[in-house]
Structure 1
């Protein structure tokens, strides 16, 4: 993350790209960042401190460590929540598709749920 954030490969979005790369690295290795949306902004602000050399990468790693969880734990919780929300209305979870998209310039993510045939 640090190298991407410092590389300035893009005119804009270097820190967002670094954050996304870090999150994807965790995902590819079986982990997720389990943060509420305000914490996402807080993480971005803390990561900026690494880029401007006010925080070490090691300090940043310690900072986010509490939000890193195994994928199975988080995905099971999401599935349980969605199942409880949709089965009461007669919709089966298997009929839905879950995907995440970046919705603004701050890199805040939104989870959208749509019927499989409407995507």
Structure 2
């Protein structure tokens, strides 16, 4: 749930109780809430926006105002990945390493 130090075990115990209770049928109102709470993503959340559309010179991205939900989901995914790369790259899975060995098909035949 984050990187921080606590003075006691009460708060972490409450977090564990909450996480387990959410798995019990009927504890949450909707199944969707449960799936959102336990998303498999390791990325940070994307930026969040509200009204007004412009505040102190900062504007809400047009895609979020478009109503195109599939495109909005793609935008959020991209932004979450960018934010994670910038702030917490340790959360991202390691990139596969390229093998220095050449495959037999890549070798030249003379």
Q: Assess same fold via TM > 0.5.
A: no
Range into which the TM-score falls when normalised by the shorter chain: under 0.3
TM-score, normalized by length of structure 2? 0.27
**Rg larger in structure:** 2
TM-score, normalized by length of structure 1? 0.25
Bigger fraction of residues in helix: 1
